[in-house]
Amino acid sequence: MDRYAVIGHPIAHSKSPQIHAAFARQTAQDMCYEAILAPLDGFAAAVRAFRAAGGRGMNVTVPFKLEAFALAERRTPRAQAAGAVNTLAFDAGGLLGDNTDGAGLVRDLTANHGCALRGRRVLLLGAGGAARGALLPLLAEGPAVLTIANRTVAKAESLAATFLPSTAETQLSACGFDGLAGQHFDLVINATAASLADQAPPLPPGLYAEEAFAYDMMYGRGDTPFIAAARADGAARLADGLGMLVEQAAESFALWRGLRPDSTAVLAALRRQLGAG
């Protein structure tokens, strides 16, 4: 039986073992998937030990995505662009690092929510690792405008400058939250950590165009603070990041096993579980 795992600190909250077990049952794959709590100073040693024991691949969660990037001997273009790795595959070529977060976000938006991005005006809130991981997959969808807004303007500008070579179809720009006043967007994505602190980013009112979509990468029971604020500001459609979690897992599974599972039933079961908790 092939072994896989998710590694992080903390890790007990992770839904990845449940998700990948469901994918394995659905696709009749002979594999197991576990959670590994790594010491904060012991990530690389834990990865090497798991591989030496016959492990085939790992998902990587906080706070080890940058260390996984450094540890990887080869990286996919999307991992290179993100500057972080959330998926490791162990093969004859060594340690391959990938980043499936942005692809999971885009698939959730387009396949699960029917939100086409081509030609749309998109606002990405935040300029940290979550935003960076999303940018290349978002730009590949060809939005007309993609604005990065962050509390620290210089950080948003630096991130935009990094991705300017990838923007043939898209007007890419950066500003602070107060610089958004008077602008309107079709899709607003919260990639900040504000929801973790039970807060919403300090946005000016009137951001949402007609039929606009507000999407929070975070998820929980009920509305996140960002979703609640977007609802109050007139966003027509709202979604949290539970679908992104499942879709990025499906991307990892496809990398490891060579086939993509159907995420629909797994996402529905998780949503029911979250609602019942």
Q: Tell me the catalytic residues.
A: 65
- Check whether 150 is labelled as a binding-site residue: yes
- Check whether 154 is labelled as a binding-site residue: yes
- Check whether 129 is labelled as a binding-site residue: yes
- Check whether 119 is labelled as a binding-site residue: no
- Check whether 14 is labelled as a binding-site residue: yes
Count each helix (H run) and each strand (E run) in the chain, helices first: 10, 12
- Check whether 127 is labelled as a binding-site residue: yes
Neighbours of 228 (CB within 10 A): 16
- Check whether 16 is labelled as a binding-site residue: yes
**Torsions phi, psi of 191, nearest 5?**
-110, 15
- Check whether 112 is labelled as a binding-site residue: no
Angle at 271 between CA 270 and CA 275, to 5 degrees: 115
- Check whether 52 is labelled as a binding-site residue: no
- Check whether 217 is labelled as a binding-site residue: yes
- Check whether 101 is labelled as a binding-site residue: yes
Neighbours of 39 (CB within 10 A): 9
CA 1 to centroid of chain Cα atoms: 29
- Check whether 190 is labelled as a binding-site residue: no
How would you classify the pairing of strands 185-190 and 208-216? Answer: parallel
| Beta strands per DSSP E along the chain | 2-8, 31-37, 55-60, 74-75, 87-91, 94-98, 121-125, 145-149, 171-175, 185-190, 208-216, 237-239
- Check whether 128 is labelled as a binding-site residue: yes
- Check whether 59 is labelled as a binding-site residue: no
Cis peptide before 10 (omega within 30 of 0): yes
Cβ–Cβ < 8 Å for 196, 178: no
Angle at 194 between CA 264 and CA 174, to 5 degrees: 95
Element (H, E) at 136: helix 129-140
- Check whether 118 is labelled as a binding-site residue: no
Q: Give 78-125 as a DSSP string.
A: HHHHHT--SEEEEETTEEEEE--HHHHHHHIIIIIS----TT-EEEEE
Residues annotated within the binding site for NADP(+) are 126-130, 150-155, 217, 241
Residues annotated within the binding site for shikimate are 14-16, 61, 86, 101, 219, 248
